[in-house]
Amino acid sequence: MSQHHRRTKHTTASPKIRAAIEARLPLPCIEGCGRLVERGQAWHVAHIQAASQGGRTTLANCGPAHARCNLTGGGKMGAAVTNSARRAAKGRRAW
Ligand SMILES: [Zn+2]
């Protein structure tokens, strides 16, 4: 129960899902950056199939994405859209 957890209002996924994923780390980043998400890194729960495409917030449909990958929408699936992260993408578009 670290204090910073209290400030994390960013709850797209349930804490249970996050905990279950965290227990399995390291896992490949589902944003497709080709690297592993490891414990201790900043990572988010992201949808494998985007919620906008009918993906549900279940353990089977969620996986870890680096915070950076998730916020920049770095991958193929646009998971950032489901995480209301767009405001964080202040002009950092590399594409
Ligand atoms: Zn990544």
Residue range of the domain that includes 37: 3-84
How far does residue 81's CA lie from ligand 1's centre (Å)? Answer: 16
How far does residue 72's CA lie from ligand 1's centre (Å)? Answer: 10
How far does residue 38's CA lie from ligand 1's centre (Å)? Answer: 10
Does some domain include residue 94? no
Does some domain include residue 33? yes
How far does residue 69's CA lie from ligand 1's centre (Å)? Answer: 5
Tokens matching residue 30: 């589902």
Does some domain include residue 51? yes
Q: How confident is the model at residue 95 (pLDDT cuts 50, 70, 90)?
A: low
Does some domain include residue 7? yes
How far does residue 77's CA lie from ligand 1's centre (Å)? Answer: 12
Pick from 55, 44, 53: which is nearest to 80 by CA? 44
Among 46-50, 68-72, 82-86, the minimum mean pLDDT is found in: 82-86
Q: What is the pLDDT of residue 1?
A: 55
How far does residue 1's CA lie from ligand 1's centre (Å)? Answer: 26
Mean pLDDT of 10-32: 88
Does some domain include residue 92? no
Q: What is the pLDDT of residue 34?
A: 95
CB-based contact 51:80 (threshold 8 Å):
no
Does some domain include residue 95? no
Does some domain include residue 24? yes
Does some domain include residue 89? no
What is the tally of structural domains in the chain?
Answer: 1
